[in-house]
Structure 1
């Protein structure tokens, strides 16, 4: 979720919650090891690769619908309504195509963008300590933005998670491919098992009915901040794998040159999305109450859902990379609006949270308990569409960045020189 680079900025909000968050640009040539006299200007849309922007724009739709659906569960009757065919279909579709399928792509795009910054700065002759300081400064400000987002708006922030990953794992950008993939799959195995084991225990309370109680905004802020010591380790555990796979993909320019990797991208798209749907069937059956399982089986079902969600996120990214060149040659208003949203993904992600803060809490409009599952998904689509319209208005007004992207860039690179 940022705007320093052609192919990406994720997110993901996060993600996440997503992703919101990353990118790269061009810095004026200066002496190695010294800061540039001015930060690089954001690249104009015509010079940006379309695929990552489209991917983030589309994944923000996944994030919005997932959040709206889960808000209804957490603040409603404590479960899915399933009052009619539409509710059953909506709940099943979310399990097969959306839940735990959006944040892996945002985390991968974040890794892709961070690797781009490293490559471009290194190609300019910057020494590693200089690049590392730049990336860690970016990570620190992502944490600041994410903590503020948590305190003011939303308990499921992913921006701070990406910032912590940038701080803790920046050295892995210099790993060999073999070492990088070894760490990636080790995190996949350990992280998904730990998250699945903790999921029912830690997050089960979030899906209990509120019983009409109104905690008030101040207690809500306190509760959200108190969840961070538990939320951060669990989200990092399942985000490092896609982050590292994004670094691996950037080394091969998979999103920048899809024509050179068409066969690989086709396999990732078809196999990844197919595997995600297949792996989502057990969780969908549980969610629509066709299959009743005990705690151990529920953990196993969720673990399969989580693992195959990685494949789905990567598959979505590959599919968008395949169609982006054709869309780019005859870019219409819809494609331009989606790309504008992806370029301003952090701003769009935060805007979604502003809407949720107005609609969801019991001390606000408290609309969730009155919604069915299908209505909640429709609400998520509507919120996403509103952010697309706002981001496209910013594009048409001549703003290359959203406010969040502008702030992160300013804090990372400093004030631009006059003239």
Structure 2
């Protein structure tokens, strides 16, 4: 890959990972926690996808777990993930602009990163998992790079328009997708499963872009204010977002929880409206989680015990950890593999998600202890985005 140059004719700056001591704790902690939410939601939803009859609801504990996931897990993890992606993309833009890079150079860099994210995501889908979000974020980087140049007012106007329209679009087709998942055939081979995952991408991508554009843009807005990097300057705002965001997510999630635990047999129209509400308040919940983590990071200061260090290491290697989760699901869940999904209760499925997440935390911390500043997925993406680092000059 050819070297890029600045308008001054010099080589690109060192593209290695930011040293751990210089990294802000809050974004890494947020990514590490987000992976827990994603793991438990995925594991819980496998009950629907493989059980053929919705959630098990086998006793009070299962009912409580299913209600808890509706209130605190479902549609709460991906908004935070999308917001963190927007935050990270805006950070790259701001850092490169501060170095004197002009916008066309930065745009090419971000779009190259987006193309490689799409490549990784398509491979992830074909080989492992139908619910990939890496390619979705790559497409967002390609389609929405221009928003990094928007004024705050224009950015927020676009963001809230996407929230309204995108949420309605997704909610309108959710019931169809849910029914198809419940009626999925168990007579599937690995090659057929792979083909089905790839074929569904053109339908899956627009849906996920529709509900991810809003939190992505909010993440861009937050990065301009360094909300996660400088939480001490925004303590009041972060507290309000934490309290009101999580509160709204819980209250607004009650109708969806009642449907999931089969207390309310809602009509298709009512179920679609409830799901739309669940999506909207889920955005608030995801932002609330990020705000809580920023406040926790502020309180911790420079105190880093083994748990915090391991969680931050997981956040630094979030793509690697996400792909590792998918590798585990590919072994445990499909009917042509171990096929344990139908045998799990709701509580056991969530427990499995926690266990898989804990395994990735241990692996990420092991990489940190071994001296690897990045996971293999992060290393590959950076190398493909920036090219091979220039050799150090000898004096």
TM over 0.5: yes
| Larger mean Cα displacement after TM superposition, 324-333 or 152-161 | 324-333
Q: TM-score by structure 2 length? A: 0.96
Question: Which of residues 242, 254, 261 is equivalent to 1:281?
Answer: 254
Q: Which residue of the other structure, out of 82, 88, 102, is the alignment partner of 1:113?
A: 88
Partner of 1:329: 302
Residue in structure 1 matched with residue 24 of structure 2 by the alignment = 49
- Structure 1 residues 226-249: Cα deviation after superposition (integer angstroms, max 9, x where no partner): 110110000000000000000111
State the alpha-carbon separation in 2 of the partners of residues 289 and 202 from structure 1: 19
Task: Choose which of 88, 101, 113 in structure 1 pairs with 2:63.
Answer: 88
List alignment gaps of at least 5 residues for structure 2: none
Q: Which residue of 2 aligns with 1:14?
A: none
Task: Report SS of the residue matched to 2:7.
Answer: coil
> What is the aligned partner in structure 2 of residue 389 from structure 1?
362
Match of 2:278 among 290, 305, 330: 305
The yes-or-no answer on 1:138 pairing with 2:117 is: no
Alignment of 1:188-337 (within 5 A): 188-208=163-183, 210=185, 213-337=186-310
CA deviation map 1:255-281 (0-9, x unaligned):
111011000000000000000000110
C-alpha spacing 1:132/1:31, structure 2 compared with 1 (3 Å) = closer
2:378 corresponds in structure 1 to 405
Where do 5+ consecutive residues of structure 1 fail to align? 1-28
Q: How far apart in 2 are the matches of 1:35 and 1:250?
A: 28
Shift of 1:34: 5.2
Residue 305 to residue 30, structure 1, CA distance change in 2 (3 Å): same
317-326 or 150-159, which deviates more: 317-326
Alpha-carbon offset, residue 73 of structure 1: 1.4
Asked if 1 retains the 8 angstrom alpha-carbon contact of 2:6 and 2:12, the reply is no
Kept after mapping to 2: 8 A contact 1:78/1:209: no
Give deviations 1:271-294, integer Å, cap 9, x for gaps: 000000001100000000111111
Determine if contact 2:47/2:56 at 8 Å carries over to the other structure: no
SS in 1 for 2:144: helix
Alignment check: 8 A CA contact 2:121 2:135 kept: yes
For each residue in 1:1-50, what CA deviation from the matched residue of structure 2 results, as whole angstroms up to 9, or x when unmatched?
A: xxxxxxxxxxxxxxxxxxxxxxxxxxxx9642757356422111111000
Distance 1:339 1:142, change over 3 A: same
Give the Cα separation in 1 of the matches to 2:108 and 2:10. Answer: 11
Compared with structure 1, are the counterparts of its residues 359 and 34 closer, same or farther at alpha carbon in structure 2 (3 Å cutoff)? farther
Aligned to 2:122: 147
Q: Alpha carbons of 1:182 and 1:394: their partners in 2 closer, same or farther (altered >3 Å)?
A: same
Instruction: Write the distance in 1 (CA, Å) between the matches of 2:387 and 2:184.
Output: 46
2-side partners of 1:88 and 1:405: how far apart? Answer: 38
- SS of the equivalent of 1:411 reads helix
Structure 2 residue aligned with 1:127? 102
In structure 2, distance between residues paired with 1:257 and 1:40: 24
Q: CA deviation at 1:204?
A: 2.6
Give the root-mean-square deviation of aligned CA atoms.
1.5
Supply the distance in 1 between the matched residues of 2:272 and 2:10 (Cα, whole angstroms). 49
| Cα separation, 2, equivalents of 1:38 and 1:128 | 16
Counterpart-to-counterpart distance in 2, 1:393 and 1:365: 27
The answer on whether the counterparts of 2:248 and 2:285 sit within 8 Å (CA) in structure 1 is yes
| Kept after mapping to 2: 8 A contact 1:276/1:308 | yes
SS of residue in 2 equivalent to 1:329: coil
Residue aligned with 2:229, SS: coil
Moved over 6 A (4+): none
- The 1-side partners of 2:10 and 2:209 are apart by 31
TM-score (norm 1): 0.91
Matched, 1:362 2:335: yes
Structure 2: distance between partners of 1:37 and 1:246:
26
How far 1:362 moved relative to its partner? Answer: 0.3
Of 39, 43, 49 in structure 2, the residue corresponding to residue 68 of structure 1 is 43
Equivalent in 141, 153, 159 of residue 166 of structure 1: 141
